[in-house]
């Protein structure tokens, strides 16, 4: 599964295999590189399954850096962590550290883990921080921390696993086609209406615009686009507001880290842009534009020829007794 510029699920590839193992994962990932995309710099989020890890370590499959960047699902990481340490407090600290966008806050949570359990810290430090911590990610995963999107799509194929193989493939084909058709139409209507960015990123930017009203902006260098932006303290007791952030418009950066992580401007960059009457659109990655959204869903599915019945009849499947073990075992 992938994710489009409107934060919607994008079905990328399906496969039927005899099981989830090293061979099947290696074959599947090789097929994606050969048949689906040769694009460099892809970010793949997964659990720690040995088959996936082996495939990413194989330089001949095309998934090693810089061809691709592997990231670990936070939910699976926390589950593995609990298997070793069985401490809910430590698990919560792990999740907080993983979700932090600022390195200093990440370090704060890691220090707390160290004070509670040195072995827990050592276990986490054995895994490269960029694999699981948002603050060290480098903007590869766009803030997506889990593999939930691939599991959520199972609802689209609900009940299909009980079908015979042919019906299973047909159902997948038709439901994915319907999925594309609806979103293609949405993209076309939004293009026609003159919208620039997807509703998802528009809502995020509008929320950040509201925050800018309480920011104080100080210009340091007009030519470099260097500013200090002071954010007022939030209403929550746990808020870290009141801090000053350095904004560099020329480098598209802010010390809060959010613009690089998510691909659209944080409230501090928006405040600096407003201060100098600069269009903030250049800070929005092209993936979030309506044109990119439409292009994502533009590919067409061709009807299957010589189909006499759809939906296919799915009745009792009679399997000869001597074949039953092979079917149930497969």
- In a shared domain, residues 72 and 12: yes
pLDDT tens figures, 187-243: 999 999 999 999 999 999 999 999 999 999 999 988 888 999 998 765 454 445 578
Residue 319 reports pLDDT greater than 70: no
- In a shared domain, residues 142 and 19: yes
CA angle 55, 48, 258 (to 5 degrees): 100
What value does the mean pLDDT take over residues 15-32?
91
Instruction: Return the H-helix or E-strand segment holding 215.
Output: strand 215-221
CA–CA distance, 38 with 62 (Å, rounded to integer)? 8
The pLDDT of residue 310: 53
What is the share, in percent, of the chain residues with pLDDT greater than 90?
63
- In a shared domain, residues 139 and 212: no
Residue 288 reports pLDDT greater than 50: yes
Residue 286 reports pLDDT greater than 90: yes
**In a domain? residue 194:** no
**In a domain? residue 76:** yes
- In a shared domain, residues 8 and 136: yes
Between these two residues, 308 and 53, which has the higher pLDDT value? 53
pLDDT tens figures, 148-181: 888 777 777 777 778 888 888 888 898 899 999 9
Helices marked H in 193-245: 199-212
Instruction: Return the H-helix or E-strand segment holding 118.
Output: helix 118-125
- In a shared domain, residues 24 and 85: yes
CA–CA distance, 84 with 75 (Å, rounded to integer)? 15
CA–CA distance, 73 with 134 (Å, rounded to integer)? 11
**Residues contacting 306, CB < 8 A, separation 6+:** none
- In a shared domain, residues 68 and 147: yes
Which domain covers residue 260, as residue numbers? 199-283
Of 152, 180, 214, which one is at a domain's C-terminal end?
A: 152
Structure-token match 């042919």, residue found: 166
- In a shared domain, residues 124 and 249: no
Of 252, 268, 283, which one is at a domain's C-terminal end?
A: 283
Take residue 40 and report the two structure tokens written for it.
Answer: 């460099």
On whether the CB atoms of residues 98 and 45 are closer than 8 A, the answer is: no
On whether the CB atoms of residues 101 and 135 are closer than 8 A, the answer is: yes
**In a domain? residue 296:** no
């Amino acid at each position: 599964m992938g994710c489009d510029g409107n934060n919607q699920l994008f079905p990328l590839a399906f496969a039927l295999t005899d099981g989830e193992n090293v061979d099947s994962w290696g074959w599947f990932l090789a097929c994606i590189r050969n048949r689906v995309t040769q694009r460099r710099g892809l970010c793949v989020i997964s659990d720690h399954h040995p088959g996936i890890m082996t495939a990413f370590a194989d330089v001949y499959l095309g998934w090693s850096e810089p061809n691709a960047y592997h990231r670990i699902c936070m939910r699976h990481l926390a589950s593995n962590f609990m298997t070793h340490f069985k401490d809910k407090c430590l698990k919560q600290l792990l999740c907080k550290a993983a979700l932090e966008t600022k390195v200093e806050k990440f370090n704060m949570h890691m220090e707390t883990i160290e004070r509670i359990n040195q072995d827990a810290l050592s276990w986490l430090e054995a895994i490269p921080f960029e694999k699981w911590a948002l603050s060290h990610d480098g903007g590869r995963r766009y803030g997506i921390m889990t593999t939930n999107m691939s599991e959520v799509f199972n609802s689209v194929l609900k009940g299909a696993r009980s079908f015979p193989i042919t019906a299973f493939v047909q159902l997948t084909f038709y439901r994915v086609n319907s999925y594309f058709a609806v979103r293609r139409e949405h993209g076309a209507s939004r293009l026609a209406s003159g919208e620039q960015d997807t509703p998802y990123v528009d809502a995020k930017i509008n929320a950040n615009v509201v925050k800018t009203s309480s920011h104080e902006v100080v210009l340091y260098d007009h030519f470099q686009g260097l500013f200090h932006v002071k954010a007022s303290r939030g209403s929550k007791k746990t808020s870290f507001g009141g801090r000053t952030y350095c904004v560099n418009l020329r480098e598209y950066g802010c010390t809060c880290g959010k613009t690089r992580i998510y691909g659209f401007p944080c409230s501090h960059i928006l405040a600096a842009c407003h201060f100098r009457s600069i269009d903030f659109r250049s800070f929005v990655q092209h993936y979030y534009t309506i044109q990119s959204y439409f292009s994502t869903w533009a590919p067409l599915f061709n009807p299957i020829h010589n189909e006499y019945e759809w939906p296919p009849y799915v009745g009792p499947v009679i399997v000869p007794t001597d074949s039953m073990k092979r079917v149930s075992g497969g």
